[in-house]
Amino acid sequence: MGVTIDEELFYAKILTKFVGGLGPRHVLEVGCGNCLFTLVLKRSFPSMEITSLDLWDDEISLPEVKGYLRDVDNNLVQNLFPLPFRDGNFDLVYAPLYFYNVVKSRRDELASEIYRVLNRNSFLVIVDLEIVRNLRKSFLKAGFLERNYYANQGVFFSLMQKT
């Protein structure tokens, strides 16, 4: 991901402030990597059902990630796009430091796919490098409305709503 574990934990704690006021029950994490964001959210909101999605490989393995999450309920799915879920399945989707890795030509398609799996009036939180903050245009084009934008130490948090 290009950030330290301490930085990931710092950003995950900021994410909890965004999520806390929304009260979602069914949550999807796109591109969870080592699942530190999952761990912080599950410890902060134990009743939240989080499905964490990624393609684990030789950098980090699925058994390693399960080891990190051994003390919390988790649902790990080894898959990415197209999202393997029915329409309107989630109250919240968040993507921590994922979309800066996605080529510009695919962003519109992936934004539409996230829009599809969210319930009406539900939320998306994008956490990504500030240098690629213009990627938010793909999500606006898909139909999201940006409700909040915050940047801290080169990383932005964009709270978007499906209406």
**pLDDT tens track for 91-143:** 999 999 999 989 999 999 999 999 999 999 999 999 999 999 999 999 999 99
What integer pLDDT is reported at residue 101 of this predicted model? 87
First CA to last CA distance, the chain? 31
Query: What whole-number distance in Å separates Cα of residue 73 and Cα of residue 71?
Result: 7
Query: What whole-number distance in Å separates Cα of residue 141 and Cα of residue 24?
Result: 24
Sign (positive or negative) of CA dihedral 31, 33, 37, 40? positive
| Chain segment 11-27, per-residue pLDDT in tens | 999 999 999 989 999 99
Query: What whole-number distance in Å separates Cα of residue 30 and Cα of residue 124?
Result: 11
Its CATH architecture, for the domain 5-162, is: 3-Layer(aba) Sandwich (3.40)
What integer pLDDT is reported at residue 1 of this predicted model? 46
Give the CA-trace dihedral at 14, 86, 68, 11, to 10 degrees. Answer: -10
In the beta sheet, which residues pair with residue 95?
Answer: 126
| Chain segment 29-82, per-residue pLDDT in tens | 998 888 889 989 999 999 999 998 888 776 677 777 777 667 766 777 777 888
Is-contact 68 39, C-beta < 8 A?
yes
Contacting residues for 81 by C-beta, under 8 A, at least 6 apart: 109, 110, 113
What integer pLDDT is reported at residue 58 of this predicted model? 64
Nearest of 91, 84, 77, 89 to residue 31 by alpha carbon: 77
Residue 66, classed as helix, strand or coil, is: helix
Query: What whole-number distance in Å separates Cα of residue 102 and Cα of residue 110?
Result: 9
pTM to 2 decimals?
Answer: 0.90
Nearest of 34, 46, 45 to residue 9 by alpha carbon: 34
